């Protein structure tokens, strides 16, 4: 058995090794073969502990820098178990953050205390912000559609929208009717009573046309012209309904009795067997409207 001085010197050497292991790892070195026999197992245990600590030191350094693909501690390093668990958590959080970056704000964390509260609050706020942006964009789209497809003065659809629908129905061989409408005496109202009164007259006609048919698509083509498109209806029915609108409009009197409101119209029925373009159909409806206007010319003079 080694004497007490030898044991003391070996103990001092191992203590110095432990100190260097913690404070100056690069300097730490222990030659276990030079230790007394009874202390060699302890010395080898200390060297083993140092190898575990060094693995932990490198692993922890990588984690502190956010490097999750660095050198992983050996499977026998039980001292690194908490860091291994943290590493797995960080990898999962990285995946969750990537999902959030892709727009999946349903991601939740429920195992990291204060971080969980902060993360979940962030995703909830992002989700609310996303929904608000979607709603805002929907409103903008509707606003742009209104600008693109609606007549500013009357609120009815405009020529662009009406012609798109007419072309679509014609190409799809739909059964529908075109009612082409021209306001009577709008030029007289504009010239004599002013365009402000003319605008009121246009709006009044538009409001009355809304009663034509619940399924009718009303479009202001421009100036004093309107067009109504209705699916699955025959020409005779459309002419009856147009005449009813005309009669009701005559009762919508100018408060000062300066003029009487009236419209002229032409109706064309299209069906799948018809081989005509949308332009042809509109031209025929226009011609029939002028025939109607000519036939009722004397009636309008009597109403002046």
Asked if residue 302 has pLDDT above 80, the reply is no
| pLDDT band at 142; cut points 50, 70, 90 | confident
User: Looking at residue 110, what is its pLDDT?
Assistant: 86
More confident residue, 135 or 143: 135
Residues 197, 185 contacting (CB under 8 angstroms): no
> How high is the pLDDT of residue 221?
95
The percentage of the chain sitting over the pLDDT mark of 90, rounded to a whole number, equals 71
- The per-residue pLDDT for range 79-138, each reduced to its tens digit, is 999 999 989 988 998 999 999 999 999 999 887 888 889 999 999 999 999 999 999 999
Residues of the chain with CATH 3.30.70.270: 157-303
Question: pLDDT grade, residue 300 (50/70/90)?
Answer: low
Three-state DSSP at 264 gives strand
Which CATH class for the 157-303 domain?
A: alpha beta
Q: What is the residue-wise DSSP string for 118-151?
A: HHHHHHHHHHHHHHHHHHHHHHHHHHHHHHHHB-
Distance, in Å, from the CA atom of 294 to the CA atom of 288, rounded to the nearest integer, reads 10
C-alpha angle 231-235-238 in degrees, rounded to nearest 5: 75
For residues 78-108, b (16+ Cβ closer than 10 Å) or e, as one string? eebeebbeebeeeeebeebeeebeeeebebe
Closest CA to 181 of 135, 225, 131: 225
| Residue 192: DSSP 8-state | I
Model confidence at 303: pLDDT above 60: no
Measured CA to CA, the distance from residue 213 to residue 269 in angstroms comes to 15
Q: Which pLDDT belongs to residue 258?
A: 84
Per-residue model confidence (pLDDT) at position 4: 87
Average pLDDT of the chain?
A: 91
Rg, the chain, Cα only: 44
Rounded mean pLDDT of 45-57? 92
User: Helix-strand-coil percent breakdown of the chain, rounded to 5?
Assistant: 60, 10, 25
Model's pTM, two decimal places? 0.59
Tokens found for residue 127: 């989700």
Q: State pLDDT tens for residues 206-240.
A: 999 999 999 999 999 999 999 999 999 999 999 99
Query: Tokens in use for 294?
Result: 């000519």
Specify whether the CB–CB gap between 177 and 268 falls below 8 A: yes
């Amino acid at each position: 058995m080694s004497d007490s001085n030898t044991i003391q010197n070996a103990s001092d050497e191992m203590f110095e090794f432990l100190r260097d292991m913690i404070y100056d790892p690069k300097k730490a070195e222990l030659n276990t073969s030079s230790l007394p026999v009874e202390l060699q197992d302890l010395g080898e245990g200390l060297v083993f502990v140092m190898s575990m600590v060094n693995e932990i030191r490198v692993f922890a350094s990588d984690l502190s820098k956010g490097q999750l693909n660095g050198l992983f501690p050996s499977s026998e390093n039980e001292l690194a178990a908490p860091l291994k668990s943290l590493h797995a958590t960080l990898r999962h959080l990285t995946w969750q953050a990537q999902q959030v970056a892709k727009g999946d704000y349903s991601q939740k964390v429920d195992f990291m205390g204060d971080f969980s509260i902060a993360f979940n609050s962030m995703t909830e706020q992002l989700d609310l912000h996303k929904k608000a942006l979607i709603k805002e964009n929907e409103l903008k789209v509707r606003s742009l559609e209104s600008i693109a497809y609606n007549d500013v003065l009357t609120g009815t659809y405009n020529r662009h929208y009406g012609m798109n629908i007419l072309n679509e129905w014609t190409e799809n061989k739909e059964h529908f009717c075109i009612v082409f409408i021209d306001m009577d005496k709008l030029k007289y109202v504009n010239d004599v009573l002013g365009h402000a009164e003319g605008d009121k007259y246009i709006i009044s006609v538009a409001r009355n046309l809304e009663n034509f048919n619940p399924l009718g698509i009303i479009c202001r083509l421009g100036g004093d012209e309107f067009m109504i498109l209705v699916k699955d209806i025959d020409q005779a029915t459309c002419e009856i309904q147009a005449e009813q609108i005309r009669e009701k409009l005559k009762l919508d009197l100018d408060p000062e009795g300066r003029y009487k409101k009236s419209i002229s119209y032409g109706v064309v029925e299209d069906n799948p067997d018809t081989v005509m373009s949308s332009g042809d159909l509109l031209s025929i409806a226009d011609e029939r409207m002028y025939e109607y206007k000519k036939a009722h010319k004397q009636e309008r003079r009597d109403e002046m």
